[in-house]
Amino acid sequence: MKTLSGGCACGEVRYECTEKPLLQFICHCRDCQHSGGSAFMAFVFVPRDRLTYLSGNLHHYDVSAESGRLLRRQFCGSCGSPVSAHWPAAPLVELLTSASLDDQRLFTPTHELWMSRAEPWHPVHPDTLKLPHGPDEQLVRATLRAHFAARQQP
């Protein structure tokens, strides 16, 4: 059953997902500022095996995160909208940009990353857990591990 859908600005790239987001982040890192064109990017994490790209031509480029892991950032080849990203070395989850969601009300951020790089002119969200640097590995991995372990239950 489809739980969310989305795509790029011109409509060529379209996706559907049958699972609700596992985690929701705002990231203020320099790469996200460049990729998003402003002060931050906002992402929801979904399991990649529950996500289907229906149409369009996703282009990508890879950036090396401070953790040393490569993040693959994907955008529409026609309009350039940032649509999604994933870690090729850890491909269980796909990050979907909040702007690409058809129903943007789905986005309810829980965490903000890289507050040490946040632009001072942007007001701070009152309800997020704020981290000075990248994702707390325990937080991300523990959440994802719990999700995938729960699937094994009969």
Q: Which is nearer to Zn ion, 134 or 148 (CB)?
A: 134
Q: Which is nearer to Zn ion, 10 or 89 (CB)?
A: 10
Q: Residue 26: in which H helix or E strand, if any?
A: strand 23-27
Q: In the complex, which residues of this chain contact Zn ion (CB under 5 A)?
A: 8, 10, 12, 27, 29, 32, 76, 78-79
CB atoms within 10 A of CB 127: 8
Q: Which is nearer to Zn ion, 136 or 146 (CB)?
A: 136
Helix, strand, coil percent values for the chain (each to nearest 5): 25, 35, 40
Q: How far is the CB of 39 from Zn ion (least distance, A)?
A: 11
Q: How far is the CB of 149 from Zn ion (least distance, A)?
A: 27
Q: Residue 40: in which H helix or E strand, if any?
A: none
